[in-house]
Chains A and B, each alone.
Chain A
Amino acid sequence: MLNKMVGIIDDIGGVTLFMKEVFRTGIKTPCTFSEIMDQTWKVTIQSLSTTAMAGFFVGAIMTVQFTLQVSQFGALGYLGGLATSGTIREVGPLLIAFMLSGKVGAFTSAELGTMRVTEQIDAIKCLGANPIQEIILPRFVGIILSSFFLLTIGLFMSIWGGLLMGIVFSGISIEEYVRHIPNIVSPVSIVTGLFKCFVFAFVLASICTYKGYNATGGAKGVGKAVVDTAVFTMIGIVIADWVTSAIGESVMELFLK
């Protein structure tokens, strides 16, 4: 138990130091723009279908559940607004970020871990290049950028999924579904959702690059790095979700009072 605690603290410190290194490299010797775009494109295309599908089902599930709740009050007119707002503010970013941590996070740490255990990273060092500048920085920025795109696409797909289920399952027309969306989904909600996307992407990118870059011990080590990445990103995302919600709440109170 105590060993585990120490290990967790060790990991947090390791990620922080690694981030310091990445930021310093980013400021002093940034990588080229085309490399970042390359990584962004690769990551986005790879996970597009997965995220779109996940988003679609998340929206559909939210609508099914909200239908059961709301119809008890005869307030089906609010269904569209409620489901959309709930998806954009909370459930969408969380579940789609889970999906991304499985897809993007695990893939990146597997790729970097393979590079590490096959000594490609040492080879880069031998050639006189800085591995953080050459391989970590483009991936780090690329993951954050593409998470942004992917989460936006996922949220759009979830709205479509909700709309479809609203028509098929709860039997209300499109106009009825759409009517209350502008009343309930305020710009603040959208900004909250986007801010959450950014925080989740940052957590995901930092953990998966750190775990992949520091993998040791052959094929087994790569497997372990991927498992660790999946677990830690999920925990990190849940904590980040809670923290951002709490911050959002207090900011709202500040403005309302």
Chain B
Amino acid sequence: MISVIDSIGLSVIKTVIMVRDFVVLTLRTLVYTFTPPFRVSDIFKQLYFVINESAPIVIFCVCSAAAVTIIESSFHMKIIIQNDALVPGFAALLILRELGAVVSALLVTSRVGAGIAAEVGTMQITEQIDALKMLGINPIRFLVVPRLIASVIGGVVLSILANLVCLYVAMLVSQYKLGHSAGSFIVAMRAFVSMQDLYFAAIKGACFGFVIPLVSCYFGFRCKAGAEGVGLATTNSVVTISISIITIDFILSWIFSYFY
């Protein structure tokens, strides 16, 4: 009995310490983000890594997702209202409000989030971060801040890009598969969605982009020695980010639903 209480207490203490460390890291990063010196060239390097190198994967996956969405919405519409004239509207709505932002964020998580965790974790266990400290360079300012800025900008850009590509492919698929012309697609789309939805998708992208580098750097800094440590840090960060993305998406969807 006592050992059970013991283990529960231990896990609570561990969780509290983890949350505290994470909050401290977040606050420090935010303070350093808005105080000079700014590392502009580092930010551009990270922007290249986040946006340019992720864009092909995001575009490719989103194309497949768009095709699947159109096919599935048409399946459901045929069951309920016996025709699929409104499919473009529904598909556009699903794409803009959920799919575009979430799928691109999950893909960025697997690439950028895992990449940052592996990179920072390797630096931690090969004592490069201690070397930075010895040289008088603040590792948070040097490592976390450029990644955070790049990732927030990248989240917005990739979310908008993914949404537009997704809508375009959905239009193509509905033209060749379901026989809606591009004009009727756009008319049906305009009846359901407005520019506001794209802004909301961009806000979602920014929020997801904010979470990714902070969690990965947090797990990277805590990385334990050895090959196993790096693998564990990467796995943990991917899982934590994915769960937080889905949770944040749920909260944001709920909040945004009061503005429609």
Which residues of A are at the interface with B, using a C-beta cutoff of 8 A?
A: 50, 53-54, 57-58, 60-61, 64-65, 67-69, 73, 75, 78, 82, 85-86, 89-90, 95, 98-99, 101-103, 106-107, 109-111, 113-114, 117-118, 169, 184, 218-227, 230-231, 233-235, 238-239, 241-242, 245-246, 249, 252
A235:B61 contact, CB within 8 angstroms: yes
Main secondary structure of the interface of B (DSSP, over half): helix
Which A residue's beta carbon lies closest to that of B64? A242
Contact with A along B209-252 (1 / 0, CB 8 A): 00000000000000000111111101100110011001101100
Residue among B114, B227, B246, B250 facing the most chain A CB atoms (10 A cut-off): B227
Residue of B whose beta carbon sits closest to that of A240: B64
B72 lies within 8 A of A65 (CB)? no
**Least Cβ–Cβ distance between B102 and chain A, in angstroms:** 8
Report whether A235 and B60 are in contact in the complex, using a CB–CB cutoff of 8 Å.
yes
Pick from A109, A184, A227 the residue with the most CB of B within 10 Å: A227
Q: For the complex, would chain A's binding face be called helix, strand, loop or mixed by DSSP majority?
A: helix
B76 and A102 contacting across the interface, CB-CB below 8 Å: no
A227 and B111 contacting across the interface, CB-CB below 8 Å: yes
Q: Are A61 and B250 in contact (CB under 8 A)?
A: yes
What's the minimum C-beta distance from A170 to chain B, rounded to whole angstroms?
Answer: 10
Within 8 Å of chain A (Cβ to Cβ): is B42? Answer: no
* Contact assessment for B61 and A238 in the assembled complex, using a CB-CB cutoff below 8 Å: yes
> In the bound complex, do residue B235 and residue A245 qualify as a contact, i.e. CB atoms below 8 Å apart?
no
A169 CA / B250 CA spacing, docked (Å): 12
CA distance A249 to B178 in the complex (A): 12
Q: How far is the CB of B128 from chain A (nearest CB, A)?
A: 12
Residues from chain B with a CB closer than 8 A to the CB of A242 are 64-65, 67-68
Q: A238-B60, A238-B103 are in contact. List 7 more A-B contacts (CB 8 A).
A: A69-B93, A102-B239, A117-B227, A222-B227, A223-B118, A226-B114, A233-B110
B50 to chain A, nearest CB (A): 14
Instruction: Give a binary string over B120-149; 1 marks a CB under 8 Å from any A CB, 0 the rest.
Output: 011001100000000000000000000000
Q: Which residues from chain B contact A111 at a C-beta distance below 8 Å?
A: 231
Q: Please state if B235 and A103 are interface contacts (CB–CB under 8 Å).
A: yes
Chain A: CB-nearest residue to B122: A220
Q: What residues of chain A lie closer than 8 Å to B64, measured between beta carbons? A: 238-239, 241-242
Within the complex, the shortest CB–CB distance from A232 to chain B, in Å, comes to 9
Instruction: Check A245/B122 contact, CB under 8 A, given A53-B243, A106-B114, A234-B110.
Output: no
